[in-house]
Amino acid sequence: MDTKDSFIIEGLAGKKTLTGEISVNGAKNAILKVLAASILFKDEVTVTNVPNIEDVQRAFEVLTELGAIITKINSDTFRIDTTKINRTDISVEISKRMRASIVFTGPLLSRFGKVSFPYPGGCVIGKRPIDVFLDGFKKMGAEIKLENEIYYIKTIGKKLKGVDNFFRLQSATGTETMIMSAVLAQGRTILKNCALEPEIISLANFLNECGAKITGMGTSTIIIEGGSLLSGKNKIYHTISDRIEAGSFIILGALCAKDITIKNCVPEHLESLINALQSSGVNIEIGKNKIRITNSGSKKNTPLEIKTHEYPGFATDLQAPISIFLTQAEGESFIFETIYEGRLNYLETLAFMGANVKVLDSHRAIIYGKTSLKGREMESPDLRAGLAYILAAIVAEGQSIVHNAYYIDRGYEDIERRLSKLGVDIKRVKKN
């Protein structure tokens, strides 16, 4: 996987011909937090159903540089031993490339009383402030200094202290980081206005299995009783399925499926998307751990109003992919991105492909359909828009080239092989 890799895609020109099955991998946003949480353990942590994606590799690098030992058991199972961690500074290079590195700060600060890190990077999709983390650490008794663009944080006493913390804005990463910070803290921590994502529940349940005392996950108020280091002995974390990957495949099916089935998913995690597509006229059959999408004619899809919202609302990470579907719906659709400014920038490229798009401001846009898209050469700007470009290229007429495959590799494992099995004409090429 390399930033110079590109995808060459021959479009289907709007034809619904894709058939077969595609399985959903483990969730990026779940495994990254559990890998960070391994720092809270006095022994080894075993994780399975781990997706082979760039962000996971970067997380392994963070842990290895800190002194952890990572052992590969098989293709998707790993053992992490953090007992020999001897550093608390997070790599500048990795942090700049992966925003999720921020979740390592809480466990490091909680266990060792100090941590240093640069402002994290990642996808360029607008402002992504870290105040939620810094404010939480201060409330728990840490002091923060910023020198030469590096944050230096240390506890004033021996340990972080339990607090009553209200999140001004719901934040999944903020909620997870504060949960992990509180596990080893002194006393009780009460977190209010917490995010509700399934990944948070999955993390908290595993930590409880290993000795933590967390209640309320899945609600807006979570309570953590601080304690001692956790134990992963005889415990295995099975990564839940990636609802964003599943949602991306569902949208692909809505665009181009003759008859495809998305396996190893949790339909309950995707109700907002499924409801929207069904209301537009997409034929979706829901099973226990699978979703089937079929099309047997030239049925027209009606336009939609999409407003992103924290879970269980419409996921911001599916906003770019759903826009491709909206270009193929009949009529005027509306997108309101409420979480990140700048996340509509990709629409300029869609317009270049022939989409009829009107951007109202940094958060709102109108898409007029149905329009025929034309294959183009384009540069992937971030993880989710990059996948949206692949969807656009598949539905378009002619050949498209999507550069900067690295961004897509950050969240989608071996995407070209998996899509090829459905009938997509896609191949990866390396730039010399």
Please, which pLDDT band fits residue 432 given cuts at 50, 70 and 90?
A: low
What are the phi and psi torsion angles at 395 (to 5°)? -80, -15
- Residue 121, pLDDT score: 56
Residue of 123, 210, 256, 265 marked catalytic? 123
Instruction: Kindly state the average pLDDT of the residues 310-335.
Output: 97
Instruction: Kindly state the average pLDDT of the residues 44-49.
Output: 97
- Give the C-alpha separation, 316 to 308, whole Å: 5
Is residue 126 scored above 50 in pLDDT?
no
Please, which pLDDT band fits residue 94 given cuts at 50, 70 and 90?
A: confident
- Residue 96, pLDDT score: 74
- Give the C-alpha separation, 222 to 102, whole Å: 21
- Residue 1, pLDDT score: 43
Q: Which domains, ranges and CATH numbers included, belong to the chain?
A: 6-25+241-429 (3.65.10.10), 28-238 (3.65.10.10)
Is residue 128 scored above 70 in pLDDT?
no
CA 102 to chain centre: 14
* Model pLDDT for residues 3-28, shown as the tens digit of each residue: 579 999 999 999 999 999 999 999 99
- Residue 124, pLDDT score: 44
* Model pLDDT for residues 211-236, shown as the tens digit of each residue: 999 999 999 999 999 999 999 999 99
Buried b (16+ CB within 10 A) or exposed e, 209-225: ebbbebeebeeeebbbe
Instruction: Kindly state the average pLDDT of the residues 303-317.
Output: 97
Residue 256 a catalytic site member:
no
Please, which pLDDT band fits residue 120 given cuts at 50, 70 and 90?
A: low
Contact 68, 38 (CB under 8 A): yes
Read off the pTM: 0.94
Supply 229's token pair: 């280091």
* Model pLDDT for residues 392-427, shown as the tens digit of each residue: 999 999 999 999 999 999 999 999 999 999 999 999
Report angle CA 316, 317, 319 to the nearest 5 degrees.
60
